[in-house]
Amino acid sequence: MVAAGFQRIALGVEYKGSRYCGWQRQRSGVPTVQEMLEKALSKVADSPISLLCAGRTDAGVHASGQVVHFDTRVERSLKAWVMGANINLPHDISVTWAKVMPAHFHARFKAVARRYRYVIYNDPIRPAHLAEEVTWIYRPLDIERMRQAAEYLLGSHDFTAFRAGQCQAKSPLKTIHHLHLTQHGKMLVLDIRANAFLHHMVRNIAGVLITIGTGQRPVTWLKDVLDGRCRGAGGVTADPFGLYLVRVEYPAEFDLPQRYLGPHFLSALPDVVADA
């Protein structure tokens, strides 16, 4: 809840995570998205601002639909929060909208679903462009095999085999609502929506699907990994470069602004951008 005299502000945020050691501020002083954003907003407020986010992304991971909130006594227009923050932010972080929220809103705990996209560039030659914004796979990928394997993940399961060893989630039980794979020339987009995700869950799923797509394992291997509930059996964790948090969903009462789904370089592909 919001203390007396304060108001709660929610922001939409997008960033390229390549230069940062993840979202969360760290004691070691390494650059993080949270630190940069708090510094920029504190300049706008002329007082310290502390942020809470919908999902803490790892080092190298990007976002086009992150949601954060903070409480403040300071009176600023919504435009001032957006434009003022952006003036003080580096080129790879942007605030996209601001909204005054009711006291019971919470960016993390009120979220009902989260959606990620993992973008793979599949070609024998590594790309010179977008090198930190896609994951390069040089072996040919069979998307149909990957789609067949992905079917095993739909619904509610124990995702212990897909969580990082340092994951702090209380339960490995999560529900995947959809997992789509689409191909666009040399790019393959994995689009996944769930009620919540474990630490490294999307990257571990991508790693297993890539292994199956390259023919190194059979389609049914994914089910064996899932049922085995052992992280050690799940293969490698895919690189962070192609991963984007593209949307966080909340109950309709909060009526948060919605932008098109990212990342930006996919915006010319209607079947990728569409909110399927």
103 and 135, same domain (yes or no): no
**pLDDT the model gives residue 165:** 80
**pLDDT the model gives residue 273:** 47
**pLDDT the model gives residue 28:** 81
Q: Would you please indicate which residues are annotated as catalytic (active-site) residues?
A: 58
220 and 165, same domain (yes or no): yes
The two tokens of residue 86 are 């952006």
54: domain CATH number is 3.30.70.580
What is the chain's Cα-based Rg? 19
127 and 216, same domain (yes or no): yes
234 and 135, same domain (yes or no): yes
Distance, in Å, from the CA atom of 221 to the CA atom of 208, rounded to the nearest integer, reads: 9
**pLDDT the model gives residue 2:** 73
**pLDDT the model gives residue 82:** 97
Is the Cβ–Cβ distance between 60 and 66 less than 8 Å?
A: no
What percentage of the chain reaches a pLDDT higher than 90?
Answer: 83
What are the tens digits of pLDDT across the range 204-259? 999 999 999 999 999 999 999 999 998 888 888 999 999 999 999 999 999 999 88
**pLDDT the model gives residue 272:** 58
Distance, in Å, from the CA atom of 186 to the CA atom of 151, rounded to the nearest integer, reads: 23
Distance, in Å, from the CA atom of 235 to the CA atom of 233, rounded to the nearest integer, reads: 6
Q: Which residues of the chain have pLDDT under 50?
A: 273, 276
The two tokens of residue 157 are 């399961």
**pLDDT the model gives residue 269:** 66
pTM beyond 0.95: no
Q: What 3-state DSSP class applies to 233?
A: helix
Cα 77 to the chain's mean position, in Å?
A: 28
45 and 56, same domain (yes or no): yes
